[in-house]
Structure 1
Amino acid sequence: MAVRPEGTPCWADAMFGDVERAKGFYGDVLGWTFGESSSQYGNYTQAYADGKAVAAVVPPLSGQEGHSQWCLYLASADAAATAGRIREHGGEVLMEPMRVGEFGTMCLAREPAGAVFGLWQGGTHEGFEATAVPGAYCWAEFFTRDPERTDAFLSAVFPYTMQQIDDDAVDFRLFKLGDDTVLGRMRMGEEFPPEVPSYVNVYFTVGDCDAAVARATGLGGVLRFGPMDSPFGRFAAIGDPQGANFSVIDITATRGEPPKTTDVP
């Protein structure tokens, strides 16, 4: 597999107090199967869609018990150098770059507006083995209360170019690597309770959005938004039974024309 460009979303995982419950929930909602947990690496357990590695679940580390959430990892050719840029541009390194055997090097960070994300410098584990197929990662967005700081940070740390969606009703920005649009950024408005911090929303692909929502809510998940049609697919935002938020999208069910955009200098 070719090395992913710097800043490309390349992996996602989440800590759960009850990993077995999480495996049951995501197995039913997204069709995941799971590999053997690795006690050497904190019982890290990979999830598979049609035999391809697409995410992982893991118990919390000591002292990190609490609210579950998904973490998106961005590709880095040199995690230590990227961590330096994160600090230089106002971010915080939460976990210093750490070698994970022969698999690669990971790092956790927080951007200036508060959203947590990861870095992954691939070794034998390069990241997603599949994307944009049922059960696999498809898209992600930084939800932020301070978009100016988030935009400046992301475009300084990674080689992104930016485009703004031309819509007075929403403040949404796209981040590109070359011709590929790889991330979105949404301003959090009054519809978000003040106690909800900035975060990264990860989308997983499904074959039928409404059916996925029905399975999720039937298993104790909470529908946060949708289902809603869009030019990119029919999607919905869900909270799982342990509090981790994510979205599902059927990318085959598109409706309407893609929005117009303006390049941002």
Structure 2
Amino acid sequence: MPIRYSPWPRGMPCWVDLMISDLGKAKEFYGQLFGWEFEHRAGRLRCTIGGREVSGIGERTGPETAAVWTTYLAVPDLDVTVRAIAGAGGRIFRPATGVGDDCRFAVVADPSGAVFGLWQAGARIGAQVTDEPGALVWNECFTANRTAAEAFYTGIFGYGAADLSAPGFGYTALTLGGEAVGGLAELPADVPGEVPAHWVTYFAVADADESAELVAELGGTVQNPPSDSPDGRLAAVTDNQGVPFCLVGPRRP
């Protein structure tokens, strides 16, 4: 089990959370799908595996709050990063906010409108478990202007950029120390123009096909059925309240 004890490096996707209308339905769905256990804290759920945090779920405060999995990127200085994002043409949806000694966070958007979070660790580092079934394994941003997105994210977070494009599909891996930690994908040409730039969360599973079947049994939908890729067997799904995310399991032999 990959366990993290110290703060994540700058730019690393270190946390995901979900704001949703019905906490009870979310708890039932994700508990059965991923085997999560839950700690109730101030009206929110801390989702855990083996007692270690993997994500959070909170209740939407109004219709203006989108029901999505939000990716948070680690930063050593939240205030400096928020100012840099504003100066680079991004938007600040929630300014720097402290949660006691736990952490400080903000919710922002890049210049194309893709919303993501920033996380400055305190007593809580973010996800304590990653890259195992039920835990966060990958995050990427789909955007109509990959060149502009690459300039923004490398400038703010100090990423390296590796072009992994293939015919008909533009893709940039964002790297730290030579290791890919996230990605920028071009929105496919057949995607309607009203679909905004957005970040996508991938959770690891032991078997993508079995997990996709379970998603449907639990009231979710399978948008793209499992298929093998160089990075594993992938499926795009939604939960029982329509929130999209992706599953990644081992490739079929």
Quick one: which amino acid aligns to residue 158 of structure 1? F
- Asked if structure 2 preserves the Cα contact closer than 8 Å seen for 1:6 and 1:75, the reply is yes
Aligned-residue offset at 1:63: 5.7
Cα shift readout 1:6-44 (whole Å, capped 9, x = no counterpart) = 1111100010000110111111111211112x22xxx12
Could you say which residue in structure 2 is the equivalent of 1:34?
38
Could you say which residue in structure 2 is the equivalent of 1:259?
none
Aligned-residue offset at 1:194: 3.0
Which is worse superposed, 217-226 or 72-81?
Answer: 217-226
Q: What aligned pairs does 1:90-101 form with structure 2 within 5 A after superposition?
A: 90-101=89-100
Could you say which residue in structure 2 is the equivalent of 1:44?
44
Whether 2:186 is the aligned partner of 1:163: answer: no
Aligned-residue offset at 1:139: 0.3
Quick one: which amino acid aligns to residue 33 of structure 2? V
Cα shift readout 1:179-198 (whole Å, capped 9, x = no counterpart) = 22110111002332333221
- Distance, in Å, in 2 between the alignment partners of 1:215 and 1:194 is 32
Could you say which residue in structure 2 is the equivalent of 1:253?
251
Q: What aligned pairs does 1:1-265 form with structure 2 within 5 A after superposition?
A: 1-36=5-40, 38-39=41-42, 43-62=43-62, 64-65=64-65, 67-250=66-249, 252-253=250-251
Aligned structure 1 segments of 4 or more residues deviating by more than 4 angstroms: none
Q: Helix, strand or coil: the match of 2:229?
A: coil
Aligned-residue offset at 1:62: 4.3
- Distance, in Å, in 1 between the alignment partners of 2:191 and 2:50 is 35
What's the RMSD between the two structures over aligned residues?
1.5
Aligned-residue offset at 1:50: 2.9
- Distance, in Å, in 1 between the alignment partners of 2:31 and 2:226 is 20
Aligned-residue offset at 1:88: 1.3
Which is worse superposed, 140-149 or 127-136?
Answer: 140-149
Q: Helix, strand or coil: the match of 2:82?
A: helix
- Normalised by the size of structure 1, how large is the TM-score? 0.90
Quick one: which amino acid aligns to residue 74 of structure 2? A
Q: When the two structures are aligned, how many residues end up with a matched partner?
A: 249
> Unaligned regions of 5+ residues in structure 2, if any?
none
- Asked if structure 2 preserves the Cα contact closer than 8 Å seen for 1:52 and 1:130, the reply is yes
